[in-house]
Amino acid sequence: MSPWPYPYWLAHRGAGKHAPENTLAAFRLGAAHGYRAFECDVKLSADGVPFLLHDATLQRTTNGHDLAGERLWDELAQLDAGAWHSPAYTGEPLPRLNEVAAWVQAEGCCLNVEIKPTPGTEAATGAAVATACARLWAGAAVPPLLSSFSEAALQAAQAAAPALPRALLLDALPPDPVARARALGCVAVITQHRLMDGALCTSLHAAGLRALCYTVNDEADVQRLQALGVDGLITDAVDRHPPVEPQRPGR
């Protein structure tokens, strides 16, 4: 396999348990803990602006309500995406993808962009996010790694920006995950950590694919997965897991 350009440890949604998830404040806190790679969720506003948010609806992590994808960006930009977490973050805004791209590149960090479509917009979101990423990282030494649970989003991303690397996210194992990933032109598979075992890791590597896992917080899980030889771990526990690169041949 060709060398893998991404750090082994990725901070989930920035440092999304210790600061408001998917905000620049969370990225800054993750960087303060030494993390140089981050995972985030990106969807589209009603007027097609890529921005960071995990849920389809606004109420869990902002003071807004209803479907985020049905709101114009000018409305979304006024929301408070920090107060739900703790008073110290009151007024923290939802970030646009272009703001995160600028911060990541200025800090010399890497990004895993999870394409998180509002239901029913899978292909449109995949194409728009991939197109934006290709523009925002044009000429960058390390492009963002696009990932999604939605195969339709990954297919659209592939068509829109075929040069960008992609990963298939899995929260359950399909009959042949290697074939599914290869059919989508992916370079990696990112599984829920309990799904990864030695057979799957070996089969992914044999097919030239990288094996990553989310969301790995407990030390016992870290040890098990590192022993299997996985290529990356996404974690919430940025305070407990220093982002030390394990020694892996061929990384």
Contact status, residue 26 vs residue 13, Cβ threshold 8 Å: yes
Q: Please state the rounded mean pLDDT for residues 187-209.
A: 98
Contact status, residue 200 vs residue 191, Cβ threshold 8 Å: yes
Integer Cα distance of 30 and 50 in angstroms: 22
Enter the DSSP assignment of 240.
Answer: T
Q: Please state the rounded mean pLDDT for residues 179-192.
A: 98
Instruction: Please write the tens of the pLDDT for every residue from 61-112.
Output: 999 999 999 999 999 999 999 999 999 999 999 999 999 999 999 999 999 9
pLDDT at residue 191 tops 80: yes
Residue 114 maps to a domain: yes
Instruction: Please write the tens of the pLDDT for every residue from 56-69.
Output: 999 999 999 999 99
The two three-digit tokens of residue 21, written as one number: 């998830």
Report which of residues 240 and 247 the model is more confident about.
240
Integer Cα distance of 103 and 31 in angstroms: 11
> Which pLDDT score, from 0 to 100, does residue 90 have?
98
- 50 in helix, strand or coil? strand
Confidence (pTM): 0.97
Residue 85 maps to a domain: yes
Residue 242 maps to a domain: no
Residue 248 maps to a domain: no
Could you tell me the pLDDT band of residue 41, with boundaries at 50, 70 and 90? very high
Structural domain count of the chain? 1
pLDDT at residue 249 tops 60: no
Q: Please state the rounded mean pLDDT for residues 234-244.
A: 96
> Which pLDDT score, from 0 to 100, does residue 12 have?
98
Could you tell me the pLDDT band of residue 247, with boundaries at 50, 70 and 90? confident
Residue 110, domain extent? 9-235
Instruction: Please write the tens of the pLDDT for every residue from 141-176.
Output: 999 999 999 999 999 999 999 999 999 999 999 999
Residue 29 maps to a domain: yes
> Which pLDDT score, from 0 to 100, does residue 248 have?
62
Catalytic residues: 12, 54
Integer Cα distance of 133 and 146 in angstroms: 9
Could you tell me the pLDDT band of residue 50, with boundaries at 50, 70 and 90? very high
> Which pLDDT score, from 0 to 100, does residue 2 have?
83
Give the closest residue to 243 by CA, choosing from 74, 57, 30. Answer: 30
- Other CB atoms within a 10 A radius of the CB of residue 9 amount to 25
Integer Cα distance of 195 and 212 in angstroms: 11
- 28 in helix, strand or coil? helix
> Which pLDDT score, from 0 to 100, does residue 222 have?
98
Q: Please state the rounded mean pLDDT for residues 125-136.
A: 98
> Which pLDDT score, from 0 to 100, does residue 1 have?
81
For all residues of the chain together, what is the average pLDDT? 97
User: For the CA atoms of the chain, what is the radius of gyration?
Assistant: 17
Residue 122 maps to a domain: yes
Integer Cα distance of 247 and 197 in angstroms: 19
The CATH number covering residue 218 comes to: 3.20.20.190
